[in-house]
């Protein structure tokens, strides 16, 4: 929070209000429809699925070897593995969806 300097912006907001900002669209008990936010939520899932298919089908092993490096002079011997099932894709994209919902609602 200190690094992003969000503290002044979030000051005074209660935890339930913040949690409502990042919740999945159309999943609230009030039943309010949020078609634009639901489209954003679904678009992130579609982007993750498309990216995985693209990497599996079109990106070679040498690019995946480069992608796994975390330091400049590091040598890795296994390429980046991107073989996730549908549930894993949803779990891994949840944080990004919540960040976008926060910005969309605030």
Q: What is the pLDDT of residues 32-69, one digit of tens each?
A: 688 888 889 989 988 888 887 777 777 776 777 766 66
> Token pair of 85, please?
């099932």
Cβ 106 vs Cβ 39: under 8 Å? no
The CA distance from 15 to 21, in Å, is: 10
Q: Is the dihedral of CA 56, 59, 53, 100 positive or negative?
A: positive
Residue 28 has pLDDT above 70, yes or no: no
How confident is the model at residue 43, as a pLDDT? 92
What confidence tier does 75 reach under pLDDT thresholds 50, 70, 90? Answer: low
Q: With left for phi above 0 and alpha for psi between -120 and 50, is residue 26 left, alpha or beta?
A: left
CA-CA distances (angstroms) from residue 60 to 66, 68, 79, 81?
10, 13, 10, 12
Identify which of 23-32, 56-65, 87-96 has the greatest average pLDDT: 87-96
How confident is the model at residue 31, as a pLDDT? 62
Range in 28-42, 59-73, 91-105 the model is least confident about? 59-73
Of 99 and 54, the one with more pLDDT: 99
Domain boundaries, given as residue ranges, for the chain: 7-105
């Amino acid at each position: 929070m200190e690094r992003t300097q969000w503290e002044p912006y979030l000051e005074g907001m209660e935890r339930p209000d913040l949690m409502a900002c990042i919740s999945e669209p159309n999943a609230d008990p009030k039943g309010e429809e949020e078609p634009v936010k639901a489209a954003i939520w679904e678009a992130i899932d579609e982007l993750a699925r498309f990216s995985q298919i693209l990497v599996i089908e079109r990106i070679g092993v040498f690019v995946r070897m480069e992608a796994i490096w975390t330091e400049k002079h590091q040598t890795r011997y296994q390429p980046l593995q991107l073989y996730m099932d549908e549930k894993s894709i949803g779990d891994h994209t949840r944080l990004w969806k919540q960040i976008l919902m926060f910005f969309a609602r605030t």
